[in-house]
Structure 1
Amino acid sequence: MSMLSPTATSRDPMELDRLAEELVTRESGRSRASLGDGEHDLPAYVPLTHDNPYLSVEAFNVEDFLLSRAYTSLPDLRSELRDYLATLKEELVKLINDDYEAFISLSTDLRGEGARLERLKWPLGDLRGQVLESRAELQSIQDAIQHKLQKRTELREEKTFLHLLLKISESVTRLESLLLISAPSDEDQGQTEIHGMALNRTEEERAEERTRANRAKHLSRVAAEYTQLLYHVSKAQTERCAFVDECQWRIDRIKSTLSSDLDHLFSSTVLSLTQGRDIARSADTTELDKAKVLNDVADCLRTYDMLGLWQDAEEVLRTDVVRSFVKKTIYPGCLAAPQSPVLPHTPFPPARTSSTTGGAPPRTPYTPFTAFASKQNPFEASFDTQPHILDDTDDPLAALYNTILRFVDRDMKRIMELADKVGVRSSSRVNMGKVALLGPSAAVLKDAPGGFEIMANVVWSEIGKAIMDELGSTVFAVGKPDEFRKHYETTQAFIRSLEYLAPSVEAVSIMRSHPVYIAFERRWQLPVYFQMRWKETVTKLEDSLIVTKLERSSNKVYAPFVTSQAAAVWAAISSIWSAQVFVPELSHRFWRLTLQLISRYRSWLDSSMPALEPVSRMPPSSSMTSSTGSPSLNRAATPTNQQVEAASPESVAADDALLVQLATVLTDIKAMESQVWKLWREELSAMLPDLSEANSATDASVSLEDTLRHSLSSLISLIPPISGQIIAILSRRGYDTLLPMRSIPSQFRAMTASRRLPTEPSHFVSLIFRALKVFFGIGAADAPGANLKDEFLHSYAEEVFENVAQRYIYFLTAMKKTEESLRRLKKGKRSAFSLFGSSSTNADDGRADEEKIRTQMILDVNAFGKDAESLGVAVDENSTYRALKELANAPLTED
């Protein structure tokens, strides 16, 4: 607002100028605000020009143009378009006028140019013909050159193919020469009988020509040459060459001869290694001869691997070494016949050789079998003690297995290690990687694409089949559970020992996936074995649980249990997990049976335990709610209607019998819980499978420990009501011992001759906790709750002390009210009938008696507290006891 001078004000009494200025200011501010809010100004007039986007487009759109000029009226738009049209016409005329002279001169200059162009066109035709003719000649020359190059390429390929055929012919001839095969003649060119071609040579001639070592190197060279021949033949067969088809019978003869010679050499070498043939017996040449034989075996295995004849090598080992041993060792009566010892070969020392695989022996998962010699884990013992040997004491099956293990260790282990080493280094074998050991129930592994599988296809195949065929009715007989369990344990230990002798973890995995191994594991009728063990365990237990009566036994055999039924339940639980019964593959079934046995014991307790009475406690009076209150408030408390008479002898005897039964149940429950958890920590947690992965996979999964805890909770849930019943009975015994305190006032009033204050507590105070001490055997040799003393004495003593202290307060309160009523009665009599001065003397005598009674109360309460402290009760922290002491220290009556 502008400040106007007085002169201006007088000239403009209505202040119109000021109002006009304010209006202008308001409108300008509103316009600026509207512009800031995004509103548009009035459209500006833009004249039509050549740069207008709606006029310069290729396809003129009338609607878009009119919409762009929507702010212009139609007459104005028409005038504007007419002005623009006039401008265009004017520019067009100007453009024509500017270029007209040049246009006219151009038409004059082009006169006669057509004839000139025709003259220039004539030599171009001749030139085009010459170019086309030259192009045709060049194309013919290029085609001729290309044809010659194609001919030369074909000739080169033919020459290369001929060289390939020459190589094939030379290789075939060279191989026939190396294998001492006679060259084919014209008459027998089509003959395919291979054995007839080898009749010109004998084993004696071969032995004269070269030694066994040279023969191994020789066959290795032949195998390399034969492999190259196969490569050349595979390339030649793509051309469908008749020469290759004609030579195919010779190639087959070479293959058969090479395989036959290799089999014969490998067989003789293996027999020399396993049986000591053809090796000098001199001690000086033992190690050298052994090394030579092992080198020969390695060369033969390398040759087999080069040719891909792994099954042929396995067949030689199966036929010449393993099968003959199995037939002599495993037969229907072999368990009754004495086992002949497998001695080490004469030229070889009996000491074990180190592993040639360069790695540690394979490890297997946890196994509970303990059938090894000296009860050792076979995978943790040293080589000197032969950890793979089983304990064959009084066990013919273990003795048989030991014979097999010694044979495998002596004759096959070194061959398997050499084969594994050759297979790993060979490029023909696909590396399968490290395969983890799987259990017998795991999925079957895929077969390796190639390589030696001596452990699975030779050793285990022959041994497993022989055991199933010859000893199946004996080894797998499940009719006698003890013998079946022993056979199963021994056989599983034998398999683990056999796996210990495997050359690699891969060999163990392949063996476990072998069809013979799978069939062997299926022969064990483990579910039938479990049913027989279940029947045996449950029948014996049910015979013990027929008696539904709690009878405490003094037999120390049942310790830590006090009843034969609880001991029978624990014997059943521990027996199924013992080494004589438990089988790892049936762990889930034995676990379920364990939980069922615990549940069965709970049901037996429900049918055998006496009916528990509802625990009745004395309700707190006002004296406990106000421990720091005045004596007048304590005296004002109204006692509850409780039974204050002494219990009859019959009820005491019934309570004693009930205490014995409840203590018996409580002792067995605690012993059962302790023994089961001890079994879990020491054995079950290691024997049962780990469910951590299942727990991480599903939230609903429950661990085995939680399952066991839930099962035991059905037994532990009985402890609180049983403890409450025991505390109630012990508290009632304490109530009964407090009854003599009601006669304390009358006793002191009757003792007129004695004027001394009491110095000892009453006799009944020491009897308050007598029942508790007798129950836990404090100061006694035998008691029903002696085994519960360490765990329940403190808590029971606190509860009994609390209950008795409440009853004590009730009795003291009732006594003080009685004394108060008696004092008032005496006071009324003295005021009405006393005519002489003897009333003061009688009053003094009453005060002295009250002081004696009060002193006796204090002594009793203090003795009651000390007796509770001896039982471990913190009396100073107990509010009820503090109220009791305050009540005892208060005057017996008010003045």
Structure 2
Amino acid sequence: MTGRSPANLPQTSDDPFQLDRLAEELVTREAAVSARQDGEFDTHDLPDFVSLSHDNPFLTSPDFNVEEFLLSRSNTSLSDLRMELREYLAQLKEELVKLINDDYEAFISLSTDLRDEGDRLARLKSPLGDLKSQILQSRSELQVIQNAIQEKLEKRAVLREEKALLHLLLKLSESVTRLESLLLIAPPENEATASLGANIARMPSHLTNIEDGAEDRSRGNRAKHLGRVAAEYTQLLYHASKARAQKCVFADEMQWRIDRIQSTISSDLDDVFGTTLLALTGGWGDGKVTEVEKNKSISDLTECLRTYDILGLWRDAEDVLKKEVVRKFVKKTIYPGALAAPPSPIVPHTPFPASKATSLSVATPMPPRTPYTPFSAFVFTTRNPSYPSGSSSASPYAHLLEDSDEPLAKLYSQALRFVERDLSTIMDIAEKVSVRSLHRPRPDKEVTIHASIRECLSDGKGFEIMANVIWEEFGRAIMDELGGTVFASGRPNEFRKHRELSQAFIRSLEFLAPSAHAIETMRRHPVYLAFEQRWQLPVYFQIRWKEIIGTLEELLAVARVEPSFAHDKNTFATPQANAVWVAITGCWSAEVFIPELCHKFWRLTLQILSWYKTWLDQALSKPDVISKASAGLASERAFANPSQSRSSTPSLTPEPSSAETTAVDDSILRQNVAVIVDVKAMRTNVLTIWREEISLMLPNAPDFAEDETDGTMAQEALNRVLSNLTSLIPSLSNEIITILTRRCCDALLPVRSIPSQFRAMSQKPSPTAPSYFISSVLRPLKSFFGIDGGGGPGVPLREEFLTPYATEIFDNVAQRYVYYLTAMKKTEESLRRLKRGKKTGFSLFGSANTAKDDDGKDEERIRLQMVHDVDAFGKDGESLGVALANSESYKALNDMVQALEAALDSS
């Protein structure tokens, strides 16, 4: 069956639109909605029924899937589905027939309307052939015209290119001619006939003075003249490169003249630059330089450096500076016997007159810089160029050289003052020229300008005076002339001093560097790398290792503890511990430590602590005699261990110690105390030196992270080693407590004879004081800590270990006290059972037996004596810091005695 809408239902004549039925359905629907909102009942939506129609998605899909269609009709039986499909097929046939019937008239008329259309199309096609031929003819004529025009345009383009090439060649020829005239080079056509002119042409342009209209070549205009020549030369190179790119033969023929111009410019520029350097660094005449001449020399120097930078001849300028200034000083200063000869002073330039002070002569001193840290990054980028030069260097590291009396320090100071006096200004000007030539900001690339400058400088474009001139000459001279003395690692003290002075010299040079890039370039220079490799640091470390470990190995070879107490805080009780501490401090002392060997000294420190732990393990292993004498301690721990169950009663009763056992115990006590004192002092001192020195010296470098020695990892490694040492303290303390407990329990033995003493007395007064032996029960503990006025072995441990030791020993002795009282109870009960049928209403330990009047008085006196003894024992322990309220053993002992007293009062 198929669902039909209300419109398909049969209509009645009374209600053709079925309004009543629709109204009833609306009321029913609203009631259902309101009931659902009120929560009266839950409704479930019935599955939607999609009738078969042209809009059904399964029927309109390009790929009809039978399974999906059947699943969508899963709520319809097969018979109903068959009926739906047949009804839908009948509907389709009906629509198809209707469609044919509606369009049949038009279909029939179409064939009638197309009659005689073929002849009409043939008539329309006949003139198309003529039109096509005319169009093709016009097209061919236009193509001929187009080809002619294109040919003329190509000829004009060739002519234009040839014209541009001719203009380029004319510019090239004019530039060559102009440069030859500016440089006073004879043209080619005059070389064969004018020998004198040729000789004049071969002279440097700045040394000739031809009155032919050329501009003045006086000393004041040489640098500017060469600057203009360099600008013209760059244009010449540009024109020559363009002509050569077009494979012009004329450019190749002019190449020899271009090379001659380049050679002439280079030679003239080198000569002017060298003259200017000599004028700036050495002065003229008597050496006095006026302010005007100084400023003129600086201006000429700047112009020469700018010209070198324009031409890209940075290395040529550096060669001139090395040859004219640096190399002469190096040869006079650094030679094989320089360390034995007295140093010659570096006289500063004559100061400018006070009346002519300018920005170059008036300067404000720089503030002091942060001291050098070996592993820190660059903390400066530019030196103050206006710092006044003098006899002492402005570098904050130079005082390490000036305050030393070493010949090498004086040589370094002399070289440093020379660099600061004669080369600092040159380096600053060269750096400014290099940066300014690369600083070409664009509106769209201002953000990356500094990156581009650094990239160009890293490619070798620019002056590198600090690396290629100063350090290359000084470093190579030191290695070649003084290498056998400076780098002699066989003498470690001199080696470390020489390295310290050399590092101070390098840091002083880095302070004078114009920028951080200059420092980076110097550190990448092959001479610098070779200089650093000459320091045989592994050899130095091996020598220091033997010095540090030698004495320590001799002491650690003795596998026994021989204490020698000093009773001072943080001092060591054994010579081995003191030697270990001396070795650790020796690794980080200023006379031994080198920053580059930091990781090796750190590993050596950890190894020394590990060796000390191994020695302690060997020294604390007892010989056979001591082991046999200490075997009796195991029985004591059966009752001395506080963790033992209270209900259990020891079955062994120790006997008083013999003289041999006492001597062995005294030796063990002294040995254990010495080890505990040394371990605690070692831990305190090592953590102090870690916090104050080692942690500041360890670098935060990536290679240290791999070795687990950077920052927190290094501290964790140190804590592990120290934990291995301090792990010995609990076992040593337990051994000390065991020995002292046994001695205290030996003093408690007379408590077992109290009943027999009272019964044997002829006169039996009531007890009013504790027994004589109570004061001696804890006396071994007092003697150990020196509380009774003597010097006991545990005096160094009194401050920290008195309370915990006393608490544990007191608990152990109290347990033994309870054991003795329990044994006395059993003995008394056995004696009463032997008596003949006489019983009393109360006994000493709560028995139901009765005794005679004398026995009752004896029991009363024994109870009172026990009360006095336990009270005195508790007060004695409290004087040692024992908290009686927290002692379970004493509480059990006191409860037992108090119960006896209460029973006595009730009887």
Q: TM-score, normalised by structure 2?
A: 0.75
- The answer on whether the counterparts of 2:372 and 2:397 sit within 8 Å (CA) in structure 1 is no
- Please say which of residues 333-342 and 812-821 is displaced more in the overlay: 812-821
Equivalent residue for 2:245, pick from 231, 238, 243: 238
Residue 690 of structure 1 corresponds to 700
Cα deviation digits, residues 783-817 of structure 1 (max 9, x gap): 32222222222211111111111111112223344
What's the secondary structure of 1:560's corresponding residue? coil
Q: How many residues align?
A: 785
Unaligned runs of 5+ in 1: 1-34, 47-51, 55-69, 73-78, 369-381, 437-444, 627-636, 832-840
Partner SS, residue 592 of structure 2 = coil
Hey, what's the Cα distance between the residues in 1 that align with 2:881 and 2:180? Answer: 104
- Structure 1 residue 874 corresponds to structure 2 residue 860: no
**Amino acid in structure 2 at the alignment position of 1:739:** L
What is the deviation of 1:367? 5.3
Alignment check: 8 A CA contact 1:434 1:505 kept: no
CA 86–411 in structure 1, closer or farther in 2 if over 3 Å, else same: closer
Alignment equivalent of 1:617, drawn from 613, 617, 637: 637
Matches within 5 A, 1:25-64: none
1:584 to 555, 570, 595: 595
1:550 maps to what in 2?
Answer: 561
Indicate whether 1:199 and 2:209 are aligned: no
1:30-429 pair list within 5 angstroms: 107=116, 121=127, 125=130, 139-188=143-192, 197-199=201-203, 203=207, 205=209, 209-277=216-284, 281=288, 285-286=290-291, 288-347=292-351, 366=374, 386-391=396-401, 392-427=403-438
How far does the alpha carbon of each residue in 1:377-417 deviate from its partner, in whole angstroms, 9 at most, with x for none? xxxxx986753342453311222222222222222222112
Going from structure 1 to structure 2, the CA distance change for 1:117 and 1:880 (only over 3 Å counts) comes to: closer
Q: List per-residue Cα deviations over 1:334-386 (Å, max 9, x = no partner).
A: 11111112221224699998999x99999975359xxxxxxxxxxxxx98675
Shift of 1:844: 4.3
Query: Cα offset for 1:465?
Result: 1.0
Change beyond 3 A, Cα 1:551–1:645: same
Q: How has the CA–CA distance of structure 1 residues 556 and 249 changed in structure 2, closer, same or farther, with 3 Å as cutoff?
A: farther
Match of 1:24 in 2: none
- The aligned residue for residue 617 of structure 2 is 606
1:861 paired residue among 851, 866, 870 = 870
Distance 1:784 1:605 in 2: 19
The amino acid across from 1:173 in the alignment is: T
Q: Does 1:572 align with 2:579?
A: no
Displacement of 1:573 in angstroms is 2.1
Q: Report deviation, 1:882.
A: 0.9
Amino acid at match of 2:750: P
Letter paired with 1:270: L
Distance 1:355 1:92, change over 3 A: same
Aligned 1:453-532 pairs, distance under 5 A = 453-532=464-543
1:278 and 1:386 mapped to 2: Cα distance?
Answer: 35
SS in 2 for 1:617: helix
**Matched AA of 2:537:** L
TM-superposed CA distance for 1:731, in Å, is: 0.6
Show the 5 A alignment for 1:679-758: 679-690=689-700, 703-753=713-763, 755-758=765-768
Q: 1:887 aligns with which of 892, 896, 899?
A: 896
Q: CA deviation at 1:588?
A: 2.5
1:784 aligns with 2:793: yes
Higher relative contact order structure (alpha carbons within 8 Å, sequence separation ≥ 6)? 1
Task: Determine if contact 1:352/1:384 at 8 Å carries over to the other structure.
Answer: no
**Separation in 2 of the partners of 1:712 and 1:81?**
97
The answer to whether the 8 A contact 2:783-2:790 is kept is: no
Pair 1:53–1:505, CA change in 2 (3 A)? closer
Give the structure 1 partner of residue 685 of structure 2: 675
Secondary structure of the equivalent of 1:390?
helix
* SS of alignment partner, residue 773 of structure 1: helix
Q: Does 1:762 align with 2:762?
A: no
Q: Distance in 2 between matches of 1:606 and 1:141?
A: 112
Mapped to 1, the partners of 2:189 and 2:174 lie a distance apart of 17
- Which residue of the partner structure matches residue 32 of structure 1? none
> Is contact 2:565-2:572 (8 Å) kept?
no
8 Å CA contact retained: 2:584, 2:608: yes
- Mapped contact 1:276–1:347 kept (Cα < 8 A): no
Shift of 1:320: 1.1
Instruction: Indicate how the Cα distance of structure 1 residues 196 and 558 shifts in structure 2: closer, same or farther if over 3 A, else same.
Output: farther
The equivalent position to 2:655 in structure 1, one of 611, 635, 645, is 645
Partners of 1:330 and 1:467 within 8 A in 2: yes
The AA in structure 2 aligned to 1:671 is A
Partner Cα distance (2:431, 2:273) in 1? 16
Cα distance in 2 for partners of 1:362, 1:262 equals 41
Question: Which moves more between the two structures, 461-470 or 165-174?
Answer: 165-174
Give distance in 1, aligned partners of 2:167 and 2:255. Answer: 18
2: CA distance, partners of 1:556 / 1:435 = 67
Cα distance between partner residues in 1 of 2:643 and 2:399: 81
Aligned equivalents of 2:339, 2:706: Cα separation in 1: 49
Q: Post-superposition shift, 1:555?
A: 6.6
Residues in 2 aligned to 1:621 and 1:319: alpha-carbon distance in whole angstroms: 88
Write out per-residue CA displacement over residues 566-610 of structure 1, whole angstroms, 9 at most, x where no aligned residue.
211222222122222222222222222222222222222233225
Whichever residue aligns with residue 299 of structure 1, its letter is E
Contact preservation (8 Å) 2:640, 2:738: no
Shift of 1:318: 1.2
Distance 1:81 1:385 in 2: 105
Structure 1 counterpart SS, 2:307:
helix
Contact conserved, 1:618 with 1:806, CA < 8 A, in 2? Answer: no
Q: Residues 94, 518 of structure 1: CA spacing in aligned structure 2 closer, same or farther, 3 A cutoff?
A: closer
Verify the 8 A CA contact 2:439 2:449 in the aligned structure 1: no
Per-residue CA distance 1:50-108 (angstroms, 9 max, x = gap): xx999xxxxxxxxxxxxxxx979xxxxxx9999999999999997797568767xx54x
Corresponding residue for 2:388? none
Q: Kindly tell me: are residues 698 and 864 of structure 1, through their superposed partners in 2, closer, same or farther at Cα, counting changes over 3 Å? A: closer
Within 2, Cα distance between the matches of 1:548 and 1:247? Answer: 92
Helix, strand or coil for the counterpart of 2:189?
coil
Alignment CA distance shift 1:211-1:651 (3 Å): same
CA distance in 2: counterparts of 1:622 and 1:134, whole angstroms: 126
Cα distance change, pair 866–194 in 1 and its aligned pair in 2 (3 A): farther
**Residue of structure 2 equivalent to 1:662:** 672
2:571 aligns to what SS in structure 1? coil
Cα pair distance change 1:188/1:816, threshold 3 Å = farther
Measured in 2, the distance between the counterparts of 1:360 and 1:139 equals: 86
Asked whether the equivalents of residues 639 and 816 of structure 2 are also in contact (C-alpha less than 8 Å), the reply is no
What percent identity do the matched residue pairs reach? 50
After TM superposition, the structure 1 stretch with the greater mean CA deviation from structure 2, 808-817 or 740-749, is: 740-749
Distance, in Å, in 2 between the alignment partners of 1:592 and 1:697 is: 10
Whether 2:804 is the aligned partner of 1:795: answer: yes
CA-based RMSD: 4.9
Asked whether the 8 Å contact 2:878–2:884 carries over to 1, the reply is yes
Residue pair 1:476, 1:484 contacting (<8 A) in 2 also: yes
Q: How far is 1:304 from its partner?
A: 1.0
